[in-house]
Amino acid sequence: MIGKWAPRTGAPRTGVDKFLTLLRVVAIGLIVVGLAAFIAQEINTDNAFARWANPDATGLSGAGFRGLVIAGISQGAMYGLIALGYSMVYGVLGFINFAHGEVFMMGAMTGWVTSTKLAEAGLWESNFVGSFVIVLFGSILVSTFLAVVMERVAYRPLRGAPRLIPLITSIGVSFFIQNMSIVLFGPATKSYPARPDWVKNKHTALQIEGDKIMVIAAAAVSMILLWYLVERTKVGKAMRAVAEDAEIAALMGINVNRTIVTVFAVGGAFAGIAGIMWGIDFGSVIGHTGFLPGIKAFSSAVVGGIGHLGGAMVGGLFIGIAEAVGPLLILEPLGVRGVSQLRDAVAFAMLIGVLLVRPSGIFGERLRAEDRT
Amino acid sequence: MNSGVAVLEIRDLTIDFGGLKALNSLNMEVYEGEIVSVIGPNGAGKTTLFNAISAMVPVTSGDIVFEGSSLLGLDPNQVTARGLARTFQNVRLFTNMTILENVMVAQHCRTRQGAIGALLNTRGFRSEEDQIRAQGEKVLGFFGSRLVGFRLNQPASVLSYANRRRLEIARAMATQPKLLLLDEPVAGMNPVESAELTRLIGRLRDEWDFTIVFIEHDMSVVRDVSDRVVVLNHGELLTEGDYADVSVDPRVIEAYLGQDTIIEDATAS
Amino acid sequence: MTATEMRPGTAPEPELAPPRRALDQNWRRLVRMGAVAALVEVFIALSGMPVRLDERPVIVSILSLGYVFIGAIPIVVGNRIGRQVRREGVPIHKAGGYELLAGTLAGAIAGAGLSVLVALLTHFDIREPLVNWSPQLLELLSFNRGTVFGVLIWLGIGAVGGFIGGGLRLLPARLRRTLLTMATTVVLISILEQLVADLVSGVRLESVADWFYGRRGGLTHSGAGVIAAIAGVASFFGRGRLKAARAHVQSLEGPARTRATSLMILLTAAVLIVVPMLVGSLTNELLANVGLFVLLALGLNIVVGLAGILDLGYVAFFAVGSYTAAVLTAATSPRINPEFPWFVALIFVVIVTGLVGLFIGAPVIRMRGDYLAIVTLGFGEIIRLLFLSDWLSGWFGGAQGITAIGGVEIFGITTVDGTNPRGVFYLVLVFCAIAIYVSWRLERSRLGRAWMAVREDETVAEAMGINTVNVKLLAFVVGAVLGSFSGAIFANKVGSVFPSSFLILVSMVILVVVIFGGMGSIVGVIAGAALLIGVLGGPKQPGLLAEFSEFKLLIYGALLVWMMLARPEGLIPSARRTRELHQEEFLQDAWLRGEVDTDDGDGNESEATERP
């Protein structure tokens, strides 16, 4: 009944509490002042407040801002797709599958292999849509397979081990897969073949690039499929039951092992989709591609409320937009130079901020009975 | 027995778990040198009361006053430092630490030596270590020879169930509290063991000057050792008084409906 | 614990059942294990390891390290397949034809993997995605004698290797151990060539080194023979004695034990002081690198091993220590350059890292263990990104870092810098000694007990009066400060600091070292660092097996997974961690020894007192 003790609300007592309160105040203050300076600089770069905050401020054009938001959304959709895997595994097994980012990377890597082979055969240019479907399925297949093998080899023997043991194992798995791809495929950057023009051009009134539209559409379709799978099918019901309490689910005749494999497979498939989207959007992949997006995707899952699937996607969009827009919206107006270098720092600061203010995420976490606090 | 000085006062205590009122404006006092048992059917809020006193669940409203000052807003470790120690319903020992270490670590809030003392191996550090060890052995010695001797340096995980319960009480004693909260101290013990532990609870008060509050389902223990019985039901105080009065109270019997036989048996004997 | 040795009634060796019939194989298991081994073989071949390591001979002109790996796998699988699980009531069979057949077949399947690869290599070219799909690999695998020979030879090698592996089970235990010791010693001495040759030359015995090692590396035939013979004799006759000596030391008590321990410490110290004087600068450089990682690992061990906080951003403190030392000692530091002497700067390093530790620790310390891991990782990245950023480049030099940092001046006597690796090693040694002392004292103090309690059950620790937040924070800060020492030495040793030296990778490598060695075990952590960093190398530092540099991270990853699955307590575990991780087995053993006390119903005290 009582898990970890929760600090009581009320006046700050210890030094740590006071420090944390100070930290929260400073963080909120920074955001407010940064935003205010941004608005001031947008109105007129010459007003006194704007000058004080950043004498070199140039403001941001409307089109530039829109471009950033769209890039953020498409990036966030990828994070969301990867985050689903983290969220599902955490919900069911209660540990962070650190290696999930590498499943995503291997998806992108497979996409590179298949797309270059298709390009050599001349199909990539002549029939892009058909090739894309083949590439997509290839990646989904490999990522799913990898996730399932990972579960079987590394995680299944550790069921019921102390909580940090599977996490450490998954760090090892991540290390291994990352370097496996480097020794097998070489350390060089892998470039996808050139994409047709309509993918690169901007469409609709909002001037969205074709690849961004593809990413957002793929994320939307995936979410609908996942919702259907989890809420409307027998497999989904089994997943929810195992997530609630694996032991009782087993007593009710649910094959827990198979359900957990399904969870890994589904998470792997979405990571594969995200991998292809990454390849199409950025055009290249290397062995380290999976690391940072993986961590950010996990952050997304936490931000949305771990175990909550819709939350994972919302969290992904949140992190994606925040890291695209945040530096220019808050740091640049304050006179920080070279803000684009701090994108990743902003994403991590986001995670820390959310965990400080609301550790259970936006939608509240859904955990196994034994993990609940 | 009781000196008339309230050690612990619970005032209008309400604990709300998202709409479910585990405790509802509960009022009770515990006087110095008393042994009070808290009884009530399952889900009456007994353990929640202990958790609230030891600051492990947040209090919705009301106040908990210990020796004249409120415990609200304190962390569990600060509550323990004030002189309140508890055991757990489902024994929670540090199973991989040795038996001696279990009682040594419990003296943390009564001792001061930090990293510097340990690094320099100062005289203060050494004498404090000796004291901690001596106090630990003294506390363990209270339970006879079961927890001392060659057992001292064995991990707690090898202990039998009953000895785990004893060690848990020893660990609570080692924090040098004024008030001991025992959550079902004899649960799962056989009649001989529980009779022995009942005697020990009496000795804890007489020899160690603890005031004791304990939750118990075993009515013979309640009858034998408690000065006063507090009955909880649905998070509210049903009645309180000495055992003879409470056990024949029709409201209590009704609350225990289906379990009333236990009470009758106990009074008959 | 001395009482346990006197106790009779340890589980008796079960009597062996007659051997199983050779044809009663568990075919599915055989094929599965063989197939897994075959996959591993193919993966190793395609990873490029054999080709790259072929340049490194183990025994001149007979065996290269490249073949050791692919050749050892059939032996291993052939041996593993004959393993019998000890279960209560299930007899253990004597080894016989069953093991030989199973081993041969499994080994042959493993070898067949390479045979298939040889065939495919000849007929297809998929070098496009797989960079190691090369003619050199084909040459190596077919011994330059064509496809057919290649296919057949690997079937043969697999079968023979499997046969040997299975056959090992038929040998008496003593002989088996001797053979294994001989084989591993030869490989080990060959791997340690640089160190051994350097050491032997250091005591003016160059001729011996020349006789042992061939001109282009690897043992000479006679050298290998002599080493194998010595190892064999030592193992065959010495093993029991070594064990007895250890048991004797462990059974000592009181002053005798203290004396034995002090003697050991003195001996180790003497070796560590004398060896660097005998070896050249290359080896000293290696020793200094190992020392830096030992220091880092000891620091992380306090955080992870003692307090149970999984800190994945430990590199942050290494970075902060390095940059603080660099800024305070270097004349070239962009903004502030007080050019303090190193030891003065060290005081500030401790203060700054302590504060950074508090700053990072305070927000994360209340989080759930796994969230804490990710958030510390985030902090580690943030710190590096800040050092890298243009924003702070006015202070820390951005991507260009800070260069031309002076060495460590020791009381005006000598200056220790990168050109003097021996001096660096001694400096590191002093700080390692400090770190060991700190870990050792703290573990056995009030604070150490509190860390243990927090690691076991935080809620209960809190309820027993331990301020868990402060206690954990203290562990975090102590670990941070120890890590910063390593950073400060690193900055002045290398003479420059760049953000790229402080990748998260460094954190991960230190974590692997701690876990491989044994969380919470000081000796284990040191051994782990020596083995991994010394032999395979650190994130950027080469080890003895420089040929391995491309594969070391791969091996670290595999090692971490394997350790967690097979031996989570590490190489040289601390007794307590072993108990935590194997509680059930521990209890079973204790029960067999009659140490678990049971409620005999009457609850009387005499039962307990009768025990010795």
The whole-number pLDDT of residue C611 equals 39
**Residue C226: burial class (beta carbons within 10 Å; 0-12, 13-18, 19+):** middle
Please state, in angstroms and as integers, the Cα–Cα distance from residue B167 to each residue in B99, B159, B185, B225, following that order: 8, 9, 11, 20
Quickly state the pLDDT bin for C525 (edges 50, 70, 90).
very high
Which residue of C128, C504, C554 is in closest CB contact with A176? C554
The whole-number pLDDT of residue C370 equals 85
Q: Judge: A20–C565 Cβ closer than 8 Å, yes or no.
A: no
Q: What is the CA radius of gyration of chain A?
A: 22
pLDDT digits (tens, 9 = 90+) for A307-318: 888 999 999 999
Give how far C153 is from chain B: nearest CA, Å: 53
Q: Is A266 helix (H, G, I), strand (E, B) or coil?
A: helix
Q: Which residues pair with B213 in a beta bridge?
A: B36, B181
For residue A34, list chain C residues with Cβ-Cβ distance below 8 A: none
Taking the C-alpha atoms of residue C315 and residue C300, their distance in angstroms, rounded to an integer, is: 10
The whole-number pLDDT of residue A163 equals 80
Phi and psi dihedrals of A364, rounded to 5?
A: 85, 140
Instruction: List alpha helices for chain A, DSSP H.
Output: 15-43, 48-53, 62-93, 100-120, 123-126, 128-150, 164-185, 197-200, 210-232, 234-244, 246-251, 256-282, 291-304, 309-326, 343-357
Taking the C-alpha atoms of residue B170 and residue B137, their distance in angstroms, rounded to an integer, is: 10
Q: Between B and C, how many residue pairs show a Cβ–Cβ distance under 8 A? A: 150
- Tell me which residue of C522, C279, C573 sits closest to C421, measured CA to CA: C279
Q: Between A and B, how many residue pairs show a Cβ–Cβ distance under 8 A? A: 28
Give how far C26 is from chain A: nearest CA, Å: 21
Hunting for tokens 């690999």 — which residue is that?
Answer: C137
For residue C377, list chain A residues with Cβ-Cβ distance below 8 A: 295
Which of B119, B181, B189 to mutate to test binding with chain C, by most C CBs within 10 Å of its CB?
B119
- Tell me which residue of A351, A357, A294 sits closest to A323, measured CA to CA: A351
Hunting for tokens 């509210």 — which residue is that?
Answer: B236
How many residues are listed for chain C in this entry?
A: 612
Which residue of C445, C462, C603 is in closest CB contact with B77? C462
Q: Judge: B145–C478 Cβ closer than 8 Å, yes or no.
A: no
Classify the phi-psi angles of C346: left when phi > 0, otherwise alpha if psi is within -120 to 50, otherwise beta: alpha
Q: Which residues pair with B6 in a beta bridge?
A: B31
- Tell me which residue of C366, C360, C373, C364 sits closest to C310, measured CA to CA: C373
pLDDT average, residue stretch C204-215: 80
Strand A208-209 relative to strand A202-203: parallel, antiparallel, unpaired? antiparallel
Q: What is the CA radius of gyration of chain C?
A: 27
Q: Tell me A327's DSSP state.
A: I
Contact partners, residue A15, CB within 8 Å, separation at least 6 = none
The whole-number pLDDT of residue B259 equals 53
- Tell me which residue of B33, B22, B26 sits closest to B10, measured CA to CA: B26
Residues of C (477-536) whose Cβ lies below 8 Å from B: 478
Phi and psi dihedrals of A83, rounded to 5?
A: -60, -30
The whole-number pLDDT of residue A67 equals 87
Q: String of b and e for C255-293 (b: at least 16 CB within 10 Å)?
A: eeeeeeeeeeeeeeeeebeebbeebbeebbbbbbbbbbb
A5 in contact with B, Cβ within 8 Å: yes
Q: String of b and e for C385-402 (b: at least 16 CB within 10 Å)?
A: bbbbbebbbebbbbeebb
State the complex-level ipTM: 0.90
Contact partners, residue A49, CB within 8 Å, separation at least 6 = A36, A37, A40
pLDDT surpasses 60 at C600: no
pLDDT in tens, chain A (373 residues): 333 444 444 444 667 788 888 888 888 888 888 888 888 877 777 777 777 777 776 667 778 888 889 999 999 999 999 999 999 999 888 889 999 999 999 999 999 999 999 999 888 888 888 999 999 999 999 999 999 999 999 999 998 888 888 999 999 999 999 999 999 999 999 999 988 888 777 777 777 888 888 899 999 999 999 999 999 999 999 999 998 888 899 999 999 999 999 999 999 999 999 999 999 889 899 989 999 999 999 999 988 988 888 999 999 999 999 999 888 888 887 778 777 788 888 888 888 888 877 778 888 777 776 665 4
The whole-number pLDDT of residue A13 equals 60
C453 in contact with B, Cβ within 8 Å: yes
Give how far C594 is from chain B: nearest CA, Å: 10
For residue C1, list chain B residues with Cβ-Cβ distance below 8 A: 153
Q: Judge: B47–A11 Cβ closer than 8 Å, yes or no.
A: no
Give how far C380 is from chain A: nearest CA, Å: 10
Taking the C-alpha atoms of residue A249 and residue A243, their distance in angstroms, rounded to an integer, is: 9
Q: Judge: C565–A117 Cβ closer than 8 Å, yes or no.
A: no
pLDDT surpasses 50 at C604: no
Decide: B181 and B87 in contact? Cβ < 8 Å.
yes
The whole-number pLDDT of residue C8 equals 41
The residue that leads in pLDDT, A330 or B76, is B76
Q: Judge: A5–B75 Cβ closer than 8 Å, yes or no.
A: yes
How many residues are listed for chain A in this entry?
A: 373
User: What rounded mean pLDDT belongs to chain C?
Assistant: 86
Strand C57-59 relative to strand C414-416: parallel, antiparallel, unpaired? unpaired
Quickly state the pLDDT bin for B258 (edges 50, 70, 90).
low
Give how far A9 is from chain B: nearest CA, Å: 7
Taking the C-alpha atoms of residue A287 and residue C474, their distance in angstroms, rounded to an integer, is: 37
Give how far B24 is from chain A: nearest CA, Å: 19
Classify the phi-psi angles of B234: left when phi > 0, otherwise alpha if psi is within -120 to 50, otherwise beta: left
Residues of A (9-68) whose Cβ lies below 8 Å from B: 9-11, 13-14
B170 in contact with C, Cβ within 8 Å: no
Instruction: List alpha helices for C96-220, DSSP H.
Output: 97-123, 135-141, 147-168, 173-191, 193-202, 206-212
Instruction: Please state the separation of Cα B243 from the chain's center in Å.
Output: 19
Which of A24, A98, A105, A348 to mutate to test binding with chain C, by most C CBs within 10 Å of its CB?
A348
Taking the C-alpha atoms of residue A31 and residue A353, their distance in angstroms, rounded to an integer, is: 12
Taking the CA atoms of residue A107, residue A109, residue A111 and residue A117 in that order, the dihedral angle to the nearest 10 degrees is: -150
Q: Tell me C307's DSSP state.
A: T
Q: Which residues pair with A208 in a beta bridge?
A: A203
The whole-number pLDDT of residue B130 equals 93
C447 in contact with B, Cβ within 8 Å: yes
Q: How many alpha carbons fall within 13 Å on the CB side of residue B185?
A: 31
C273 in contact with A, Cβ within 8 Å: no
Residues of B (60-89) whose Cβ lies below 8 Å from A: 72-76, 78
Please state, in angstroms and as integers, the Cα–Cα distance from residue C145 to each residue in C110, C138, C150, C344, following that order: 21, 10, 7, 66
Q: Judge: B56–A7 Cβ closer than 8 Å, yes or no.
A: no
| C555, two tokens | 């091996």
| Greatest CA separation for chain A | 71
Phi and psi dihedrals of B29, rounded to 5?
A: -130, 155
The whole-number pLDDT of residue C610 equals 37
pLDDT surpasses 50 at C171: yes
Task: List all chains that touch chain C, counting a touch as 3 or more CB pairs closer than 8 Å.
Answer: A, B
How many residues are listed for chain B in this entry?
A: 269
Which residue of C48, C374, C459 is in closest CB contact with A4? C459
Q: Which helix (H) or strand (E) holds C595?
A: none
Q: Is C8 helix (H, G, I), strand (E, B) or coil?
A: coil
Task: List all chains that touch chain B, counting a touch as 3 or more CB pairs closer than 8 Å.
Answer: A, C
The whole-number pLDDT of residue A3 equals 39
Residue by residue, DSSP assigns A99-168 as: THHHHHHHHHHHHHHHHHHHHHTTHHHHTHHHHHHHHHHHHHHHHHHHHHHHIIIIIGGGTTS-THHHHH
Residue by residue, DSSP assigns C56-109 as: SEEETTTEEHHHHHHHHHHHHHHHHTT----BTTBPEEPPSHHHHHHHHHHHHH
Q: Which residues pair with B239 in a beta bridge?
A: B231
Which residue of A2, A9, A14 is in closest CB contact with B51? A2
Contact partners, residue C178, CB within 8 Å, separation at least 6 = C232, C235, C236
Taking the C-alpha atoms of residue A186 and residue A188, their distance in angstroms, rounded to an integer, is: 6
pLDDT digits (tens, 9 = 90+) for B13-56: 999 887 788 898 999 999 999 999 999 888 888 999 999 999 98
| C131, two tokens | 């960079």
Task: Lowest mean pLDDT of A125-134, C88-97, C387-396, C527-536, name the range.
Answer: C88-97
Residues of C (2-61) whose Cβ lies below 8 Å from A: 43, 46-49
Q: Judge: B160–C596 Cβ closer than 8 Å, yes or no.
A: yes
- Tell me which residue of C456, C452, C586, C460 sits closest to B158, measured CA to CA: C586
The whole-number pLDDT of residue C5 equals 40
The whole-number pLDDT of residue B175 equals 93
- Tell me which residue of C553, C413, C497 sits closest to A171, measured CA to CA: C553
Which residue of C131, C550, C568 is in closest CB contact with A185? C131
Classify the phi-psi angles of C254: left when phi > 0, otherwise alpha if psi is within -120 to 50, otherwise beta: left
Which residue of A166, A172, A185 is in closest CB contact with C130? A185
For residue C437, list chain B residues with Cβ-Cβ distance below 8 A: 119
Q: Judge: A295–C378 Cβ closer than 8 Å, yes or no.
A: yes
The whole-number pLDDT of residue C499 equals 93
The whole-number pLDDT of residue A347 equals 86
Residue by residue, DSSP assigns chain B as: ---S-EEEEEEEEEEEETTEEEEEEEEEEEETT-EEEEE-STTSSHHHHHHHHTTSS---EEEEEETTEE-TT--HHHHHHHTEEE--SS----TTSBHHHHHHHTTGGG----HHHHHHT-HHHHHHHHHHHHHHHHHHHTTTTSSSGGGGGSBGGGS-HHHHHHHHHHHHHHT--SEEEEESTTTT--HHHHHHHHHHHHHHHHHH--EEEEE-S-HHHHHHH-SEEEEEETTEEEEEE-HHHHHH-HHHHHHTTT-HHHHHHHHH-
| C250, two tokens | 């462990």
Q: Judge: C565–A167 Cβ closer than 8 Å, yes or no.
A: no
pLDDT digits (tens, 9 = 90+) for B192-217: 888 999 999 999 999 999 999 999 98
Q: Judge: B56–A5 Cβ closer than 8 Å, yes or no.
A: yes
Hunting for tokens 């001694």 — which residue is that?
Answer: C426
The whole-number pLDDT of residue C612 equals 36
pTM: predicted TM-score of the whole model, two decimal places: 0.90
Quickly state the pLDDT bin for B105 (edges 50, 70, 90).
very high
The whole-number pLDDT of residue C278 equals 86
Q: Which residues pair with B183 in a beta bridge?
A: B215
pLDDT digits (tens, 9 = 90+) for C191-203: 888 888 888 888 8
Residues of B (79-108) whose Cβ lies below 8 Å from C: 80-81, 85-86, 88, 92-97, 101, 104-106, 108
pLDDT surpasses 60 at C344: yes
The residue that leads in pLDDT, B161 or A338, is B161
Give how far A20 is from chain C: nearest CA, Å: 6
pLDDT surpasses 90 at C474: yes
The whole-number pLDDT of residue B135 equals 93
| C332, two tokens | 């070239």
pLDDT average, residue stretch C90-109: 89
The residue that leads in pLDDT, C504 or A7, is C504
The whole-number pLDDT of residue B99 equals 92
